[in-house]
């Protein structure tokens, strides 16, 4: 379960990074592919949630992940356009969405996913997106490489927290 969730959450950051790189390069075909891949990955994460919490929970998770992707996409597009108001709005939306996801996950597994802890993990994740997008748009790939490493490690933290909570809640279903 840990390995599977890590792979799914890594897929998210790989795809959103690919989107930012394509936008920076002006490669609309690659950006469209990265967008499709991001949505497909979100569906895989939602399906994993549904496998433990039911179809309605999977649909709810997909809606929330759609909101996260909308925020990341808006952040990327605004940063590329040099639109500070758009960046600020995207970060506000990402922060609100982090709270919604934290509330949702806490509701599904209140004994193992404290809402404030999950919210903190997701706010840090949004901050990584902002740093990475800013660095890509500035062409600062040295700094982006450091952020990329931190982002991947943070995805492990999120995935492991989720896997641990699922394992504690459903010990007979987890390998």
DSSP state of 107: H
pLDDT in tens, the chain (175 residues): 999 999 999 999 999 999 999 999 999 999 999 999 999 999 999 999 999 999 999 999 999 999 999 999 999 999 999 999 999 999 999 999 999 999 999 999 999 999 999 999 999 999 999 999 999 999 999 999 999 999 999 999 999 999 999 999 999 988 7
Q: Which is nearest to 126 in space by CA: 104, 102, 153, 93?
A: 93
pLDDT number for residue 174: 84
Nearest 5 degrees, angle CA 143-CA 144-CA 146?
70
pLDDT number for residue 104: 98
Q: Would you state the structure tokens that stand for residue 88, as one six-digit string?
A: 């600020």
Q: Which is nearest to 74 in space by CA: 35, 41, 112, 48?
A: 35
């Amino acid at each position: 379960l840990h390995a599977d969730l890590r792979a799914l959450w890594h897929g998210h950051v790989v795809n959103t990074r690919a989107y930012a790189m394509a936008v920076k390069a002006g490669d609309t075909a690659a950006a469209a592919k990265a967008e499709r891949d991001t949505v497909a990955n979100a569906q895989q994460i939602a399906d994993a949630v549904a496998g433990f919490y039911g179809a309605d929970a999977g649909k709810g998770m997909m809606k929330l992940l759609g909101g996260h992707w909308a925020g990341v996409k808006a952040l990327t597009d605004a940063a590329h356009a040099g639109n500070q108001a758009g960046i600020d709005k995207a970060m506000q939306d990402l922060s609100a969405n982090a709270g919604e996801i934290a509330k949702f996950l806490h509701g599904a597994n209140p004994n193992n996913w404290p809402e404030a802890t999950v919210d903190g993990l997701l706010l840090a994740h949004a901050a990584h997106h902002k740093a990475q997008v800013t660095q890509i748009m500035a062409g600062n790939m040295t700094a982006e490489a450091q952020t990329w490493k931190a982002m991947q490690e943070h995805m492990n933290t999120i995935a492991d927290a989720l896997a641990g909570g699922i394992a504690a809640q459903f010990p007979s279903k987890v390998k």
